[in-house]
Amino acid sequence: DSDVPSATRAVLDAALADRATAAALETVGLTPAELAAATPPAGLTVDALDPADPEAGQRTALSFAVLIVMFMQIVGFGLTVAMGVVEEKSSRVVELLLSTIRPLHLLWGKVLGIGAVGLVQLLLYGVVGIGAGIATGLLTITGTALGVFGAALGWFVLGYAFFAVLYAAAGSLVSRQEDVNTTTGPLMMLLFAMYGVSFWFLGSPDSAVLGVLSWIPPFPAMLMPLMIADGSATAWHVAGSALVMLVALVLLAKAGARVYERSVLRIGATVPWREALRSR
């Protein structure tokens, strides 16, 4: 009555255009089929400068799983070391043990023994997790998954050793298991800081601050497996961070062993960190 609807007009315009094209071809002796054969369809080819990674989703999921497991393993087995030291101290068993072996040997025996259990448990987690992912088809980046798994095992050893020595020293400062939280509180705060920084990496992997933190112990223990999973860690970066972590571990082990030796036989009130480090 007044105007043609836009949808109807589009259909009619297309039909009229096709009819006009057919009429024009007829005047020059061509059919629409001959024109279509002579002019194959042209497609637009796009070369992306920064193409999306088709494996990005799996890498993110792998990174998240590694982060959770690493955090739980270090916290759980670090606290186990501290509780074991306090138990031996409160029951006076440590006095009998130290009559036959040196304090440093007792310390490292505990750290290595509990750490071996944690490493085996982490190994089982990885085997079951990767096996289930491959079997269900959810995990297709098998090579990357195995590489990240191997990196997680290695960095767990460094991260656990770093904190286990501190947890052992913290446990030697108290005589009751109820008081462990008073000396291990700073360690938990540091671990949660590492956890938060690692979550920050999952959202901002290109942050310059995270690049700096990946060189400062103990942050590489959690950051480097994520960077390896993300594919942003070079070989020299991994090797350099591991070397820095090892140097820091050696220095820290000496300080932690000194605290342990000077505090593990002291029964009664909690020994302050400063006093344990300065006492002779």
Measured CA to CA, the distance from residue 117 to residue 48 in angstroms comes to: 48
Give domain status of residue 36, yes or no: no
| N-to-C CA span, the chain | 105
Radius of gyration of the chain (CA): 32
Mean residue pLDDT across the chain: 85
- pLDDT-wise least confident of 132-146, 200-214, 231-245: 132-146
Q: Specify whether the CB–CB gap between 263 and 276 falls below 8 A.
A: yes
Residue 148: CB atoms within 10 A of its CB come to 24
SS3 breakdown of the chain: % helix, strand, coil, rounded to 5?
A: 75, 0, 25
- The 3-state DSSP class for residue 53 equals coil
More confident residue, 94 or 19: 19
pLDDT in the model for residue 280:
53
Q: Specify whether the CB–CB gap between 62 and 147 falls below 8 A.
A: no
Torsion sign, CA atoms 242, 247, 252, 257: positive
pLDDT in the model for residue 112:
92
- The 3-state DSSP class for residue 30 equals coil
Identify the band that residue 206 occupies on the pLDDT scale cut at 50, 70 and 90: confident
The alpha carbon of residue 176 and the mean position of all alpha carbons in its chain are separated, in whole angstroms, by: 34
Give domain status of residue 23, yes or no: no
Residue 32: CB atoms within 10 A of its CB come to 12
Give domain status of residue 47, yes or no: no
Give domain status of residue 220, yes or no: yes
Measured CA to CA, the distance from residue 12 to residue 27 in angstroms comes to: 23
Torsion over CA of 260, 261, 266 and 267, rounded to 10 degrees?
50
Give domain status of residue 191, yes or no: yes
The CB-side HSE value for 78 (13 A sphere, CA atoms) comes to 29
Give domain status of residue 46, yes or no: no
Identify the band that residue 135 occupies on the pLDDT scale cut at 50, 70 and 90: confident
Q: Which residue range forms the structural domain that includes residue 179?
A: 57-278
Q: What is the pTM of this model?
A: 0.76
- pLDDT-wise least confident of 71-75, 212-216, 231-235, 238-242: 231-235
Give how many domains the chain has, as a whole number.
1
Give Cα separations from 48 to 44, 52, 204 (angstroms): 13, 9, 22
pLDDT in the model for residue 268:
74
Torsion over CA of 265, 267, 271 and 275, rounded to 10 degrees?
-50
Give domain status of residue 101, yes or no: yes
Q: Specify whether the CB–CB gap between 65 and 148 falls below 8 A.
A: no
Identify the band that residue 136 occupies on the pLDDT scale cut at 50, 70 and 90: confident
Omega before 54 within 30 of 0, i.e. cis: no
Read off the DSSP letter of residue 130.
H
pLDDT in the model for residue 270:
80
pLDDT in the model for residue 279:
54
**Per-residue pLDDT reduced to its tens digit, 8-63:** 989 999 999 888 888 888 888 887 777 777 787 778 888 888 777 677 677 778 88
Give the pLDDT mean for 103-120. Answer: 88
- Closest among 246, 242, 270, 102 to 161, alpha carbons compared: 246
Give the pLDDT mean for 219-230. Answer: 88
